[in-house]
Amino acid sequence: MLEHLQPLPADKILALVAAFREDPRDDKIDLGVGVYKDASGNTPVMRAVKEAERRILADQTTKAYTGLAGDPAYGAAMRDLVLADSVASERVAAVATPGGTGAIRQALELIRMAAPDATVWLSNPTWPNHPSIIKYLGMKMAEYTYFDSATREVDFAGMMADLDQIAAGDVVLLHGCCHNPTGANLTADQMAQVITLMQNKGAVPLIDIAYQGFGDGLDEDAKITRQIASAFDNCLIAASCSKNFGIYRERTGILMAVAKDSAQQGLAQQTLAYLNRQNYSFPPDHGARVVTTILTDPELRADWEAELEETRMGMLVLRQQLADELKRLTNSDRFDFLAHHRGMFSRLGTTPELVEKLRAEHGIYMVGDSRMNIAGLNAQTVPILAKAIVAAGV
């Protein structure tokens, strides 16, 4: 049997991690992996997470299963965090998932079950796991224009022109905030136009919100998701707690399905539980319990929000420092987009050849499409990166 397996393409980011590890240079900079790092290069455990885990360890009396959908308290807490009061709670079905990736996978499984002929539309570019999972599931897929490599901003005219081709029942995957890999986001007005177009076409939105709190703040980052969810009878939302709670290895995510009414919600909830059973049965609970403990305790929540805000502001400071340093070195404002982008990532909009030049000559590691992790920088490495970008001719 195993002799019939074929070699698969290597994961580009994991290959980048290995190459960085083997590089002997002391001044190398890792901007590839999408993990938050503090000024010391560490990914810390947040204070509220540590305290929540301490309480759970002291109080938990069982490790029995919580249910196919996960702990209902987790679903309620996450629904409140992401959607607030934008959608009536009785319209929302939800299941815990192994990370945001698990939520995306279950969303696509649901789409394949409910609308097997639907085409899933993805931004070009998007997170590589999106098209990878869709192709693996054998689903129809199309792309819509999103990023302008010249301006390093959203190509909104191109986006609207492409989305004008969607058919009734198609699914449009949108990033809730902090677009990965570009860092360029739609404005509320632009999203309103996208919503109107999708409503007129009879399309269904699928929102991937993995960085809530990393862009303009918890509520501000959720605005577009709430704007979309309140505008459609049906909407799917895949959310991740990896970044904003810093619990990457706990694999804590959730899939929410907004239904037209409570009867449709009941059917959706039953189907989501069924899909969990088929894929991994009961979802992991520890990370979900940590998140629930924090979100339902006023003291812990306040401390978490304060630390998350420190993290967000730290990334904004780094963005501005890099944009300012590049302006000083080039006497040009062509890198100002770095200060406008939001989240962990920005896409330089340069060629794979120049990205390779940055790695080979300057020890700067970023993904080949020029996506770089701003959180991989600190005040000392910003000038080094800026100098390398200019020297490489980016």
For the annotated catalytic residues, the residue numbers are 127, 208, 210, 243
Whole-angstrom Cα Rg for the chain: 21
The span from the CA of 45 to the CA of 271, in Å, is 35
Going by C-alpha positions, the residue among 32, 46, 37 that lies closest to residue 291 is: 46
The span from the CA of 33 to the CA of 367, in Å, is 8
The span from the CA of 221 to the CA of 342, in Å, is 10
Find the DSSP H helices in 202-237: 218-229
Identify residue 115 by its one-letter amino acid code: A
Interacting residues of 306 by C-beta distance below 8 A, sequence separation 6+ = none
Going by C-alpha positions, the residue among 187, 200, 269, 266 that lies closest to residue 232 is: 200
- Within a 10 A sphere around the Cβ of 229, how many other Cβ atoms? 24
- Within a 10 A sphere around the Cβ of 247, how many other Cβ atoms? 23
CA angle (364, 154, 209) in 5-degree steps: 80
- Within a 10 A sphere around the Cβ of 90, how many other Cβ atoms? 12
